[in-house]
Structure 1
């Protein structure tokens, strides 16, 4: 389902939240670090570079993404694995567990956070960032096209991403014995190129939709969506402005 090349469009815009999340992770010398939903592994290598003495695990459910991550030989301290991020079990309790723009694909965040917290060592840190743009015009237009009779039957079972409120994340994690730092940031990206918002969405939100539809119907979906996005997000000389909100959580296990 995932295409590493398409996902790498707008690489700088996608990387920035990761570094802003990592700045709030105050851990000096972790022994075991994991990146769940590691994608192409570029940012997992950043973790291995920051904590050179740690064992670092990059985990993604996509064979294509992990194959791309392994294309450049990783250092001995870093291992990439194909696995479901909720079900993956680390070989030892984790001192740092990072997930950047991945958890929104998993249903039932209450159960998910309980699973992730259980993977932490004492004083371990869970740090994640999730997109929170699901009520934006771009995503509402996708929902409108999904509901059309031509596409709805094939897309009925395709999961839509979601994010809980910051208050919900704080309550869930506090109840699991973690102290929580949570915040939200809205980024105004000015995207270059033609149909830039569509290209952005094709790297992430539209992947499961296009996979379920297949090539022919997928092209029909994009042809229907494209003019709607052009109207909602007009292009200017400097590019296409696209407001995108993300939620961040850094939680430390205290018991």
Structure 2
């Protein structure tokens, strides 16, 4: 899979819906052990939800990490209201390892892009201060039409030579039970759950607009040098998604399952 080129403006078109799982995740994170906590946000994107960490822990030193220069360019570092600091740095989550103890390592809708991400849990848990927390949420909707139809199209005779295997399958994330098993085996008190949001999306072809910010990025990147083919593929996606997500007089309902985990290290 090519490394996707991200479009922050496209991603942020649905910022409210995308941020809600993060706020729900943070609501379950317990108090942190440090008076001025050290926090890492893995896969921070443009930093819009990283800023929410500073509202919860205004005295913390918070660093958002991402491997997308386009996303990091939009992030806004600076001091926080409680005398803490918010900064951002380029890093690859596949290899990132803390160089100092952290009170919280958090990740919002990023780990699904990292094959074998659960194998990183031991290093991250080891880097937590006693009583520290690892918290993350990932999409759990890879069998939904918004993913399945795109994979079927990419694997069709028209596209398979260029795009077969380029999109993620349902093995991109683990089951809630498997996350619970792995985290408790590392000595954590783990809280794992799932939620299906039903977002009501406005506008014309809003599910296409949504996936153009996330799930479709590998295809848009792979076809970036061929604008005509790129637009042909997008039109085919539009037609397929219109059938799967019919518009109503109030908007387009878009069910979206998410998987959450909060793991507190033994203090």
Query: 2:23 is matched with which residue?
Result: 19
- Displacement, 1:159? 5.0
| Aligned match of 2:47 | 41
Residue among 230, 236, 250 paired with 1:218: 230
Classify 1:13/1:146 alpha carbon distance in 2 versus 1 (closer, same or farther; 3 Å). Answer: same
How well do the aligned residues superpose, as a CA RMSD in angstroms?
A: 1.6
After TM superposition, the structure 1 = structure 2 runs for residues 9-88 of structure 1, keeping only pairs within 5 Å, are: 9-28=13-32, 29-70=35-76, 73-75=77-79, 77-88=85-96
Q: TM-score, normalised by structure 2?
A: 0.90
Q: Distance in 2 between matches of 1:90 and 1:209?
A: 32
The residue that corresponds to 1:98 in the other structure is: 106
Deviates more, 1:36-45 or 1:111-120: 111-120
How is 1:79-228 mapped onto 2 (pairs within 5 angstroms)? 79-156=87-164, 158-160=166-168, 162-214=172-224, 215-228=227-240
Determine if contact 1:38/1:100 at 8 Å carries over to the other structure.
yes
8 Å CA contact 1:37, 1:58 repeated in 2: yes
Query: Matched residues in 2 for 1:248 and 1:36: separation?
Result: 15
- Residue 242 of structure 2 is aligned to residue 238 of structure 1: no
Contact residue 132 and residue 247 of structure 1 kept, 8 A? yes
- Alpha-carbon spacing, 1:146–1:115, altered in 2? closer, same or farther (3 Å): farther
Partner Cα separation in structure 1 for residue 69 and residue 7 of structure 2:
10
Tell me which moved more, 218-227 or 105-114. 105-114
Any gaps of 5 or more consecutive residues in structure 1?
Answer: none
Q: CA deviation at 1:11?
A: 1.2
CA 1:135–1:142 in structure 2 vs 1: closer, same or farther (change >3 Å)? same
Q: For the structure 1 residues 74 and 152, does the alpha-carbon distance in structure 2 shift closer, same or farther, using more than 3 Å as the test?
A: farther
Gaps of 5+ in 2: none
Matched, 1:3 2:27: no
